[in-house]
Amino acid sequence: MKKETLLKYAVAALLTLNAIVIAFLFLNRRPPEALPMLQSAPPPNGRIFDSIVTTRLQLTDKQQQQFETLKQEHRSQMRELDGEYRRLLENYFALLRDTAIDTAKRDSLQKMIGEVHIQKASATLTHFAALKSFCTPSQKMLFEALIPELSRVILPPPKMDRNRPPHDAAPLLDEPKNHPPERRD
């Protein structure tokens, strides 16, 4: 009988805690626009941004066709550069297989990786300059207002603080607690 009574109290306590948690969640809800993670989140795919560009710039049907052609060319170019970047990184990290890292190969690969980044940035700038080139003067003013959003979409999301290791890596960086005693022969 005592076990049943204890179980009844435990179930009652858990139900009470659940009700309190649910009430707390409903009473302290914030509107989605108050959540910072939703404000800075990039669009899930390019289509959302494409529709923003088309709508904000008020592109005509002909301009939308031109923009579509530009997008296809740009995406093809970026896929090619991404493939090249992956290949270079594979070769770069393959240097770790050797007992000593060949500094000439390392330096050469680092330079080529940097060049791919420059090509990607240049291709993106050229892409948006081409878009701006077929805008009317009033659309160019709207384009100027769109530039900060372009930066947020194009740039990768901010990473964690580089001066602070991730919480999982902290134990790896700590000194071992138990040093084996030194042997003196």
pLDDT band per the 50, 70, 90 thresholds, residue 5: confident
Q: Give the residue-averaged pLDDT of 81-91.
A: 94
Q: pLDDT: is 181 or 29 the higher one?
A: 29
Q: pLDDT: is 7 or 69 the higher one?
A: 69
Q: pLDDT: is 177 or 9 the higher one?
A: 9
Which two tokens mark 19?
């009700």
Kindly report which listed range (58-67, 101-110, 149-158, 159-168) carries the lowest average pLDDT score. Answer: 159-168
The tens digit of pLDDT for each residue in 133-163 reads: 999 999 999 999 888 888 777 776 666 665 6
The 3-state DSSP composition of the chain as helix, strand, coil percent (nearest 5) reads 70, 0, 30
Q: What is the pLDDT of residue 162?
A: 58
The tens digit of pLDDT for each residue in 31-57 reads: 555 444 444 444 445 567 788 888 889
pLDDT at 2 over 50: yes
Q: Following DSSP, what letter does each residue of 41-99 receive, concatenated?
A: PPPSSHHHHHHHHHHHTT--HHHHHHHHHHHHHHHHHHHHHHHHHHHHHHHHHHGGGSS
3-state DSSP assignment of residue 175: coil
pLDDT at 126 over 90: yes
